[in-house]
Homo-oligomer: A and B are copies of this chain.
Amino acid sequence: MKLETQWIVGFVDGEGCFHVGISRHEDMRLGVQVLPEFTVVQHERDVNILYALKRHFGCGVVRRNNGDRMAWRVRDRQQLLERIVPFFMKHSLKTKKKVDFLKFRKVLLLMEKGEHLTPEGLEKIQAIAASMNRYRASGD
**A→B interface (CB under 8 Å):** 1, 3-15, 42-43, 45-46, 49, 67-69, 94-96, 135, 138-140
Contacts and interface: CB of A to CB of B under 8 A. Distances in A.
B94 A42 contact: no
A97 to B, nearest CB: 8
Contacts of A6: 4-7, 10
| A-B residue pairs, 5 tightest by C-beta | A14-B14, A10-B10, A10-B11, A6-B6, A7-B10
Contact of A3 (B8, B46, B94): B94
Contact of A13 (B10, B95, B135): B10
Nearest to A14: B14
Nearest to A8: B10
Contacts of A138: 43, 67-69
A69 B10 contact: no
